[in-house]
Amino acid sequence: MSSLRMPLKYIDNAKKILCIGRNYAAHIKELNSAQPQQPFFFLKPTSSILKPNNGPFLIPKGVLVHHEVELAFILNKELKNLSESFSPQEAIDAIEGYALTIDMTARNVQNEAKKKGLPWSIGKGFDTFLPVSEFIPKSAIPDPYNVDLQLKINNEIEQDDNTNLMIFPIHKILSSMSNIMTLEKGDVILTGTPKGVGPIVEGDDIEATLSVDGKEIARIECKAELKPGFYEYKET
């Protein structure tokens, strides 16, 4: 690739991070959520990215953190007002590459927000709430619907599923999102978490892997520590 067209190597080039919610049936059930009729999403700030080997995952005081391991993809072009006929192949053509991610969630903050009709920004947006792997070249994932995602806490398997369980496929996610906001080159899109979400506490070792046909393609490793600063969870 020529130096004039730099590859989008790092997901911290994203202008925005869009996260599909409730995209795996067994996860919807474990949280007693309703299955959406169409894709729904929320945004995470780019400041929540925790790059590989860049320090610990930080737990805010008083927060019940849950891990949500997810496949993310990075766009290679702008997408706007796509029609319903936007095809699976066109969606793949719009992908620059992938990343393994953990959508960390302040579950007690989010549960209160759900109950009171408040936004999810706090529950999803703390610094380090998006650990990411290194960029995964597109060629390493021939089929985004055949990817194994696994997450371990202190070497115990908590999440272990395949992306073939996704409810809304990528082309449907993109056509829906692109009619709400313009999707820009470099944007990162998380495709939802399978079942098995659960708590992380101070001192935990977090390990996630992404594999294709039994071969490990990417990993995340970090330790959980208490977040410095003055935030402490209090009911809104």
Interacting residue ranges for Ca ion, rule: CB under 5 A: 68, 103, 193
The number of beta carbons lying within 10 Å of the beta carbon of residue 73 is: 26
Nearer of residues 175 and 193 to Ca ion, judged by Cβ:
193
Minimum CB distance to Ca ion, residue 7 (Å)? 27
Q: How far is CA 87 from CA 39, 51, 186, 188, 211, in A?
A: 16, 32, 20, 19, 26
Nearer of residues 68 and 158 to Ca ion, judged by Cβ:
68
Indicate the residue whose CB is closest to Ca ion: 103
Residue 7 structure tokens: 């590859």
Nearer of residues 68 and 96 to Ca ion, judged by Cβ:
68
Minimum CB distance to Ca ion, residue 150 (Å)? 16
Nearer of residues 103 and 187 to Ca ion, judged by Cβ:
103
Burial of 205 (0-12, 13-18, 19+ CB in 10 A): middle
Minimum CB distance to Ca ion, residue 124 (Å)? 8
Minimum CB distance to Ca ion, residue 71 (Å)? 11
Picking from 18, 19, 30, 44, the residue whose alpha carbon sits closest to that of residue 194 is: 30
Nearer of residues 10 and 40 to Ca ion, judged by Cβ:
40
DSSP-derived 3-state class of residue 222: strand
Give the integer Cα–Cα distance in Å for 128 and 126.
6
Query: DSSP characters for 173-198?
Result: HHHHHHTTS-B-TT-EEE----S--E
Minimum CB distance to Ca ion, residue 122 (Å)? 15
Nearer of residues 86 and 148 to Ca ion, judged by Cβ:
148
**Residue 177 · residue 5 · CB < 8 Å:** no
Minimum CB distance to Ca ion, residue 41 (Å)? 10
The number of beta carbons lying within 10 Å of the beta carbon of residue 164 is: 11
